[in-house]
Amino acid sequence: MIRVLIVDDQALIREGLNLMLSLYKEIEIVGEATNGKEAIEILGKKNVDVILMDIRMPIMNGVEATKIIKETYPYIKILILTTFNEDEYIFEGLNNGADGYLLKDIGSEELVNNIKNVYQGDMLFHGEVAKTIASAIRGKKSLHNKINHKELTPREMEIAELIGKGKNNKEISEILYITEGTVKNHVTNILAKLELRDRTQLALLIKNK
Protein backbone atom coordinates (compact mmCIF):
# COMPACT_ATOMS: atom_id res chain seq x y z
CA MET A 1 0.00 0.00 0.00
CA ILE A 2 1.41 3.38 -1.05
CA ARG A 3 0.45 6.18 1.34
CA VAL A 4 -0.33 9.38 -0.55
CA LEU A 5 -0.78 12.97 0.64
CA ILE A 6 -2.63 15.39 -1.66
CA VAL A 7 -1.57 19.06 -1.46
CA ASP A 8 -3.61 21.59 -3.46
CA ASP A 9 -5.41 24.81 -2.55
CA GLN A 10 -8.42 23.99 -4.75
CA ALA A 11 -11.01 21.82 -3.01
CA LEU A 12 -12.33 20.51 -6.32
CA ILE A 13 -8.88 19.23 -7.31
CA ARG A 14 -8.29 17.60 -3.92
CA GLU A 15 -11.67 15.91 -3.93
CA GLY A 16 -11.26 14.76 -7.52
CA LEU A 17 -7.83 13.25 -6.88
CA ASN A 18 -9.04 11.61 -3.68
CA LEU A 19 -12.04 10.07 -5.41
CA MET A 20 -9.99 8.94 -8.39
CA LEU A 21 -7.13 7.39 -6.39
CA SER A 22 -9.42 5.74 -3.83
CA LEU A 23 -10.56 3.39 -6.61
CA TYR A 24 -7.13 1.73 -6.59
CA LYS A 25 -6.49 -0.74 -3.77
CA GLU A 26 -2.72 -0.16 -3.86
CA ILE A 27 -3.17 3.53 -2.96
CA GLU A 28 -4.13 4.87 0.47
CA ILE A 29 -4.95 8.58 0.81
CA VAL A 30 -3.64 9.51 4.26
CA GLY A 31 -4.53 13.19 4.13
CA GLU A 32 -5.16 16.42 2.26
CA ALA A 33 -3.58 19.86 2.68
CA THR A 34 -4.42 23.25 1.18
CA ASN A 35 -0.84 24.57 1.24
CA GLY A 36 2.75 23.60 1.96
CA LYS A 37 2.59 24.58 5.63
CA GLU A 38 -0.37 22.28 6.27
CA ALA A 39 1.41 19.48 4.41
CA ILE A 40 4.46 19.77 6.67
CA GLU A 41 2.23 19.70 9.76
CA ILE A 42 0.54 16.52 8.52
CA LEU A 43 3.93 14.86 7.98
CA GLY A 44 4.63 15.31 11.68
CA LYS A 45 1.59 13.17 12.47
CA LYS A 46 1.26 10.65 9.65
CA ASN A 47 3.51 8.39 7.61
CA VAL A 48 3.57 9.37 3.93
CA ASP A 49 5.29 7.70 0.97
CA VAL A 50 4.35 9.99 -1.93
CA ILE A 51 3.13 13.60 -2.03
CA LEU A 52 1.14 15.04 -4.93
CA MET A 53 2.19 18.68 -4.69
CA ASP A 54 0.64 21.69 -6.41
CA ILE A 55 2.90 24.70 -7.03
CA ARG A 56 0.86 27.87 -6.68
CA MET A 57 -0.69 27.91 -3.20
CA PRO A 58 -1.17 30.58 -0.51
CA ILE A 59 0.87 30.78 2.73
CA MET A 60 3.54 28.35 1.45
CA ASN A 61 3.84 27.33 -2.20
CA GLY A 62 4.78 23.89 -3.46
CA VAL A 63 8.34 24.81 -4.41
CA GLU A 64 9.18 26.09 -0.93
CA ALA A 65 7.41 23.16 0.72
CA THR A 66 9.29 20.67 -1.44
CA LYS A 67 12.63 22.07 -0.30
CA ILE A 68 11.71 21.93 3.40
CA ILE A 69 10.18 18.46 3.16
CA LYS A 70 13.15 17.00 1.28
CA GLU A 71 15.54 18.39 3.90
CA THR A 72 13.54 16.83 6.74
CA TYR A 73 12.09 13.73 5.05
CA PRO A 74 14.44 12.88 2.15
CA TYR A 75 12.83 9.45 1.72
CA ILE A 76 9.40 10.91 0.85
CA LYS A 77 8.79 11.10 -2.89
CA ILE A 78 7.30 14.34 -4.21
CA LEU A 79 5.44 14.53 -7.50
CA ILE A 80 4.65 18.07 -8.56
CA LEU A 81 1.20 17.95 -10.13
CA THR A 82 0.19 21.25 -11.68
CA THR A 83 -1.25 23.06 -14.69
CA PHE A 84 1.89 25.11 -15.24
CA ASN A 85 4.33 24.02 -17.92
CA GLU A 86 6.67 26.96 -17.36
CA ASP A 87 10.47 26.76 -17.17
CA GLU A 88 10.67 28.81 -13.97
CA TYR A 89 8.43 26.45 -12.02
CA ILE A 90 9.88 23.29 -13.52
CA PHE A 91 13.48 24.05 -12.63
CA GLU A 92 12.68 25.56 -9.24
CA GLY A 93 10.73 22.50 -8.21
CA LEU A 94 13.32 20.03 -9.47
CA ASN A 95 16.21 21.96 -7.96
CA ASN A 96 14.46 21.75 -4.60
CA GLY A 97 14.35 17.97 -4.80
CA ALA A 98 11.07 17.05 -6.51
CA ASP A 99 11.07 13.51 -7.92
CA GLY A 100 8.86 14.29 -10.88
CA TYR A 101 6.74 16.90 -12.59
CA LEU A 102 3.35 16.01 -14.08
CA LEU A 103 0.62 18.16 -15.60
CA LYS A 104 -2.93 17.86 -14.26
CA ASP A 105 -4.33 16.70 -17.59
CA ILE A 106 -2.88 13.25 -16.87
CA GLY A 107 -5.28 10.27 -16.84
CA SER A 108 -6.08 8.34 -13.65
CA GLU A 109 -4.38 5.08 -14.66
CA GLU A 110 -1.27 6.90 -15.83
CA LEU A 111 -1.16 8.89 -12.59
CA VAL A 112 -1.38 5.73 -10.49
CA ASN A 113 1.38 4.09 -12.54
CA ASN A 114 3.52 7.18 -12.07
CA ILE A 115 2.91 7.14 -8.32
CA LYS A 116 4.04 3.49 -8.23
CA ASN A 117 7.13 4.23 -10.31
CA VAL A 118 8.25 7.26 -8.32
CA TYR A 119 7.66 5.28 -5.10
CA GLN A 120 10.11 2.69 -6.44
CA GLY A 121 12.74 5.36 -7.11
CA ASP A 122 12.13 6.53 -10.68
CA MET A 123 12.13 10.17 -11.76
CA LEU A 124 9.06 11.11 -13.77
CA PHE A 125 8.26 13.89 -16.20
CA HIS A 126 5.21 14.70 -18.30
CA GLY A 127 6.00 14.62 -22.02
CA GLU A 128 5.88 18.39 -22.48
CA VAL A 129 7.91 18.97 -19.32
CA ALA A 130 10.52 16.44 -20.42
CA LYS A 131 10.89 18.31 -23.71
CA THR A 132 11.49 21.59 -21.88
CA ILE A 133 14.12 20.05 -19.63
CA ALA A 134 15.81 18.13 -22.43
CA SER A 135 15.99 21.30 -24.50
CA ALA A 136 17.69 23.15 -21.67
CA ILE A 137 20.12 20.34 -20.98
CA ARG A 138 21.02 19.95 -24.62
CA GLY A 139 21.95 23.59 -24.95
CA LYS A 140 25.45 22.38 -25.80
CA LYS A 141 25.93 19.40 -28.09
CA SER A 142 29.19 18.69 -26.30
CA LEU A 143 27.31 17.20 -23.33
CA HIS A 144 26.59 13.92 -25.10
CA ASN A 145 30.03 13.96 -26.70
CA LYS A 146 31.69 14.26 -23.32
CA ILE A 147 30.01 11.04 -22.23
CA ASN A 148 30.55 9.26 -25.54
CA HIS A 149 34.21 10.30 -25.67
CA LYS A 150 34.65 8.88 -22.19
CA GLU A 151 35.73 12.05 -20.40
CA LEU A 152 34.19 10.39 -17.36
CA THR A 153 36.20 7.68 -15.61
CA PRO A 154 34.69 4.16 -15.39
CA ARG A 155 33.75 4.80 -11.76
CA GLU A 156 32.15 8.14 -12.65
CA MET A 157 30.16 6.45 -15.40
CA GLU A 158 28.94 3.81 -12.91
CA ILE A 159 27.77 6.53 -10.55
CA ALA A 160 26.20 8.58 -13.35
CA GLU A 161 24.25 5.54 -14.55
CA LEU A 162 22.97 4.88 -11.01
CA ILE A 163 21.90 8.51 -10.65
CA GLY A 164 20.05 8.07 -13.94
CA LYS A 165 18.14 5.25 -12.24
CA GLY A 166 17.11 7.56 -9.40
CA LYS A 167 19.54 6.27 -6.77
CA ASN A 168 20.64 8.62 -3.97
CA ASN A 169 24.17 8.88 -2.55
CA LYS A 170 23.49 6.39 0.27
CA GLU A 171 22.08 3.79 -2.12
CA ILE A 172 25.00 4.27 -4.53
CA SER A 173 27.53 3.89 -1.72
CA GLU A 174 25.93 0.58 -0.69
CA ILE A 175 25.80 -0.72 -4.26
CA LEU A 176 29.43 0.18 -5.04
CA TYR A 177 30.82 -0.46 -1.53
CA ILE A 178 32.27 3.03 -1.16
CA THR A 179 31.56 5.80 1.34
CA GLU A 180 28.88 8.44 0.84
CA GLY A 181 31.63 11.06 0.95
CA THR A 182 33.40 9.38 -1.97
CA VAL A 183 30.14 9.27 -3.92
CA LYS A 184 29.57 12.96 -3.24
CA ASN A 185 33.07 13.81 -4.50
CA HIS A 186 32.51 11.80 -7.68
CA VAL A 187 29.16 13.51 -8.29
CA THR A 188 30.79 16.92 -7.90
CA ASN A 189 33.45 15.95 -10.46
CA ILE A 190 30.86 14.56 -12.88
CA LEU A 191 28.76 17.73 -12.76
CA ALA A 192 31.85 19.88 -13.28
CA LYS A 193 33.06 17.83 -16.27
CA LEU A 194 29.65 17.87 -17.95
CA GLU A 195 28.95 21.50 -17.00
CA LEU A 196 25.65 20.57 -15.37
CA ARG A 197 23.91 22.42 -12.57
CA ASP A 198 22.67 19.50 -10.48
CA ARG A 199 22.04 15.75 -10.37
CA THR A 200 18.54 16.17 -11.79
CA GLN A 201 20.04 17.44 -15.04
CA LEU A 202 22.55 14.58 -14.92
CA ALA A 203 19.79 11.99 -14.45
CA LEU A 204 17.89 13.34 -17.43
CA LEU A 205 21.02 13.48 -19.57
CA ILE A 206 21.87 9.86 -18.78
CA LYS A 207 18.32 8.74 -19.57
CA ASN A 208 18.44 10.47 -22.95
CA LYS A 209 22.01 9.69 -24.01
Alpha-carbon distance of 20 to 68, in angstroms, equals 28
Name residue 159's beta-bridge partners.
none
Per DSSP bridges, beta strands 50-53 and 77-82 are parallel
Given a cut of 90, is residue 144 above it in pLDDT?
no
| Overall fold of domain 139-207 | Arc Repressor Mutant, subunit A (1.10.10)
What pTM does this model have?
0.64
Q: Any idea which of 19-28, 38-47, 122-131 has the lowest mean pLDDT?
A: 122-131
Given a cut of 90, is residue 102 above it in pLDDT?
no
Per DSSP bridges, beta strands 124-125 and 27-33 are unpaired
Domain limits, the chain: 2-135, 139-207
Which residues, in sequence order, are CB contacts of 160 under 8 Å at separation 6+? 147, 152, 190, 202, 206
Q: What is the largest CA-CA distance in the chain?
A: 52
Q: Any idea which of 6-15, 100-109, 181-190 has the lowest mean pLDDT?
A: 100-109
For the chain, how big is the Rg over CA atoms in Å?
17
pLDDT digits (tens, 9 = 90+) for 4-28: 999 999 999 999 999 999 999 999 9
pLDDT digits (tens, 9 = 90+) for 58-96: 999 998 999 999 999 999 999 988 776 555 566 677 777
Given a cut of 90, is residue 127 above it in pLDDT?
no
Alpha-carbon distance of 190 to 205, in angstroms, equals 12
Query: What top-level class would CATH report for the domain 2-135?
Result: alpha beta
What is the pLDDT at residue 129?
Answer: 58
Structure confidence at residue 3 as a pLDDT band (50, 70, 90):
very high
Which of the pair, 163 or 92, is modelled with greater confidence? 163
> Counting runs of H as helices and runs of E as strands, what totals does the chain give?
11, 6
